[in-house]
Structure 1
Amino acid sequence: MTTPSIDIDKYNRCVEDIGLLLQRTVRICQLFEREQIKVHGFTSSQCYILLEILKNGPLTINEISTKMNLEISTITRIMDNLVRDQFLVRNRLLHDKRVVEAALTDKGLLAANKLRASISDYYKNVISHLPPGHVREVMSAVELLLTAVEQANRQGE
Structure 2
Amino acid sequence: MWEATRNIVKKLGLSEKTVASCCGITFAQCYAIASIGRAEEISLNELAETLNLDNSTMSRTISNLVNDHLVERNINPEDRRYVTIRLTEPGYEAFKKIEGGMELYFQAVLGLIPEDKHEQVVESLTYLSEAMNKIVCC
TM-score, structure 1 normalization: 0.80
The Cα shift of 1:39 comes to 1.3
Q: Which amino acid aligns with 1:40?
A: C
Residue aligning to 1:129:
112
Residue aligning to 2:93:
110
1:123 partner SS? helix
The Cα shift of 1:63 comes to 0.9
**How much is the aligned-residue C-alpha RMSD, in angstroms?**
1.6
Residue aligning to 1:59:
42
Residue aligning to 1:4:
none
The answer to whether residue 13 in structure 2 is matched with residue 30 in structure 1 is: yes
Residue aligning to 1:40:
23
Stretch of structure 1 that moved more, 62-71 or 94-103: 94-103
Match of residue 148, structure 1, among 96, 116, 131: 131
Structure with greater proportional strand content:
2
CA distance, structure 1, for counterparts of residue 35 and residue 10 of structure 2: 23
1:70 partner SS? coil
The Cα shift of 1:64 comes to 0.3
Match of residue 63, structure 2, among 80, 87, 97: 80
Q: Percent identity?
A: 26
Q: Which has the higher contact order (CA 8 A, sep 6+)?
A: 2
TM-score, structure 2 normalization: 0.90
The Cα shift of 1:131 comes to 0.5
Stretch of structure 1 that moved more, 142-151 or 42-51: 142-151
CA distance, structure 2, for counterparts of residue 147 and residue 54 of structure 1: 22
1:23-79 per-position Cα deviation (integer Å, ceiling 9, x unaligned) = 111111111111222111122221121111211111110010111111111111111
Larger Rg over CA atoms: 1
Match of residue 99, structure 1, among 82, 89, 99: 82
Structure 1 stretches lacking a partner, 5+ long: 1-17
The Cα shift of 1:139 comes to 1.2
